């Protein structure tokens, strides 16, 4: 989809004017409203949000009908948390990285610089005690959370000029979000928070020097290759980025047990389909960006990666000692699970990637 056609279809920039009528409950059917942090059908998260709405409706046997409202149709993307917590809508689709102003604990459930991969992130919640902490944190805001997808490894982003050293980052105006914002600020970057369409405009005007959004599939739909040609990997600031669904706690508790199970399974069962779609379509989009748009794929210098790792260590120490007992428990749980994966994954995933990169005839 061309950027102009996508933005027109998504209604980016339109003023929210739709009002939400009270939810209906007739003949056992609940009509739920999903508000999202994304333009409708944005490749990647916007597509995943619609998949989730459809899957909840299907797995509930039609007893919950979910209608999706894109960012700006009812509330702005950053307003979806409050809209659901206050009961204006029943559920939202977004990422935990957007809620750091409410509690730093949220940020660790989204992405962590030099932290967990997508499968490790899911493993922490399902096998490492993360889900209980996730539930506890969100319950304090009247929400029931579920992970429902992941973008996989994100990219370091689009740069108008090359970067060759840590010095090249100092003073650079850079769009990012979540814990990566704190890490990049410690490296002397001037961090900006904004949505993807606004990032395109800021890069085009020169208000930004660089920025990251997601990866090739989503980024190319926004046309970022038109305003910057240097595309840097690896995105160690977000080695994965979890997508979440959060449900108004009162609405969730009103559900019968089988409907609670349907909602839970709808979210959990989408995690891998969403991740594999991202990986596949990112790969296809990258081919096109390089072959048809002249994008230059470049590696982030190792000294920058090391500096980011050191900065993240400082951030974690601050979180751990910040006086919030729940945040401390979240940090410690995350670090325990990360260390377990650090010990094992060199023999597993890393070993396979190294083996695949050796010089032998395979095709």
List the chain domain ranges: 3-151+240-281
List pLDDT tens digits, range 327-355. Answer: 999 999 999 999 999 999 999 999 999 99
81 marked as part of a ligand binding site: no
Exposure of 363 in the CB half-sphere (CA atoms within 13 A): 1
175 marked as part of a ligand binding site: yes
27 marked as part of a ligand binding site: no
CATH superfamily of 3-151+240-281: Bacterial extracellular solute-binding protein, family 7 (3.40.190.170)
212 marked as part of a ligand binding site: yes
List pLDDT tens digits, range 265-324. Answer: 999 999 999 999 999 999 999 999 999 999 999 999 999 999 999 999 999 999 999 999
CA 42 and chain centroid, separation: 13
334 marked as part of a ligand binding site: no
Among candidate residues 180, 175, 186, the one with its CA nearest the CA of residue 115: 180
The span from the CA of 153 to the CA of 321, in Å, is 29
User: Terminal CA-to-CA distance of the chain, rounded, Å?
Assistant: 32
Work out the pLDDT band at 138, boundaries 50, 70, 90. very high
Work out the pLDDT band at 26, boundaries 50, 70, 90. low
Residue 124 in contact with residue 138, Cβ under 8 Å?
Answer: no
Q: Which residue has the higher pLDDT, 99 or 6?
A: 99
Report the side by side order of strands in the sheet with 296-299.
190-192, 173-175, 210-211, 157-159, 230-233, 296-299
């Amino acid at each position: 989809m061309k950027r102009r056609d996508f933005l027109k279809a998504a209604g980016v920039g339109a003023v929210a004017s739709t009002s939400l009528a009270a939810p209906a409950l007739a003949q056992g059917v609940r009509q739920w409203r999903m508000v999202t942090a994304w333009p409708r059908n944005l490749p990647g998260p916007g597509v995943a949000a619609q998949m989730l709405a459809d899957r909840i409706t299907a797995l509930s046997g039609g007893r919950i009908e979910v209608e999706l409202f894109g960012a700006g149709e009812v509330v702005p993307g950053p307003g979806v948390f409050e809209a659901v917590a206050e009961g204006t809508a029943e559920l939202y689709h977004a990422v935990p990285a957007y809620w750091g102003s409410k509690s730093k604990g949220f940020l660790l459930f989204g992405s962590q610089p030099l932290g967990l991969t997508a499968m490790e992130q899911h493993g922490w919640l399902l096998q490492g005690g993360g889900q209980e902490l996730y539930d506890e944190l969100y319950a304090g805001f009247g929400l029931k959370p579920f992970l429902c997808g992941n973008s996989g490894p994100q990219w370091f982003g689009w740069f108008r000029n090359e970067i060759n050293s840590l010095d090249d980052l100092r003073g650079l105006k850079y769009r990012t979000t979540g814990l990566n914002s704190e890490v990049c600020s410690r490296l002397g970057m001037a961090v900006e928070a904004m949505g993807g369409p606004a990032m395109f405009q800021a890069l085009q005007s020169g208000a930004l020097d660089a920025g990251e959004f997601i990866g090739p599939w989503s980024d190319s739909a926004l046309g970022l290759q038109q305003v910057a040609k240097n595309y840097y990997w690896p995105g160690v600031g977000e080695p994965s980025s979890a997508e979440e669904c959060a449900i108004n706690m009162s609405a969730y508790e009103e559900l019968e047990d089988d409907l609670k199970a349907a909602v839970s399974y709808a979210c959990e069962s989408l995690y891998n389909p969403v991740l594999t779609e991202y990986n596949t379509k990112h790969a296809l989009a990258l081919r096109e960006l390089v072959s048809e748009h002249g994008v230059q794929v470049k590696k982030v210098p190792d000294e920058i990666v090391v500096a980011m790792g050191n900065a993240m260590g400082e951030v974690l120490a601050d979180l751990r000692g910040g006086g919030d007992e729940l945040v401390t428990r979240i940090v410690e749980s995350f670090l325990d699970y990360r260390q377990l994966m650090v010990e094992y994954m060199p023999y597993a995933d890393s070993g396979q990637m190294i083996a695949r990169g050796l010089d032998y005839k395979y095709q």
